[in-house]
Amino acid sequence: MSSNGRAISMIDEQSTEAVLSDIWTRLVRARHDRKADWRWFTVATSASDGTPRARTVVLRGCAPGQRRLDFHTDRRSAKYAEIVEAPRVALHFLDRRAAMQVRMLGRAEFLSETDAAAIWDRLPASMRAEYEQAATPGTVRCDAAAEPLRSVSGKQNFTAVQVFVTDIDWLHLGSSGHRRAAFQLEQNNWIGRWMTP
């Protein structure tokens, strides 16, 4: 049996606390392991007209004690504007090998300019290039292969988002039956409940 299988088997036999611990353990691992399924996840925002918007981002930070997950974005993007207007966001993680889905709700906040600048200074040139394009994200281009015009303001375009998680919905699709648990933050403590899948 795979290590993922053993982990799920242990969770099935234990408590909602074990499920919650496993979720954060996997997220910490994904922060450092580029091949982990949860390294890439979906963040959903709301446009000004109420239209839901979902996109894939990369997990750049994870602090279980603060219930915090981080990703990077461009200040010129629609995503940035949507978070400014409506900071409540939804996150979605899928681990196909472990047959596990996690959905989260949380409040997104931007790092201060000083803290974002400190992260920028540590970014490799290849990552900086994405924020140095003169055209804003989502601008129509005539040629997909054309070299984008560069801007000197990449540092000004870059920021980091911190999502402080308040709700978690965990689902495991097992061959012997599906299992689901939900966690809500109440008075700064996680309250876990088994749910009908």
pLDDT of residue 5: 46
Domain 3-134+149-195 top-level CATH class:
mainly beta
Supply the pLDDT for residue 175.
Answer: 82
Q: What are the two backbone dihedrals, phi and then psi, of residue 115, each rounded to the nearest 5 degrees?
A: -70, -40
The neighbour count for residue 164, using CB atoms within 10 Å, is 15
List CB contacts of 173: < 8 A, sequence separation 6 or more: 99, 100, 101
Q: What pLDDT is recorded for position 148? A: 65
Residue positions counted in the chain:
197
Query: Per-residue b/e over 41-57, b at no fewer than 16 CB within 10 Å?
Result: bebebbeeeeeeeeeeb
- What is the pLDDT, as a whole number, of residue 108? 98
Question: Cβ atoms within 10 A of the Cβ of 113, count?
Answer: 12
Q: What is the mean pLDDT of each run of 10 residues along the chain (197 residues)?
A: 45 80 97 96 96 97 98 97 98 96 98 96 93 85 69 88 98 91 95 96
Kindly list the domain boundaries of the chain, sorted by start residue.
3-134+149-195
Cα–Cα distance, 38 to 40 (Å, whole number): 5
Structure tokens at 26: 């996997």
The pTM of the full predicted model, rounded to 2 decimals, is 0.88
Strand partners, 40: 58
Class of residue 82 by CB neighbours under 10 A (exposed 0-12, middle 13-18, buried 19+) = buried
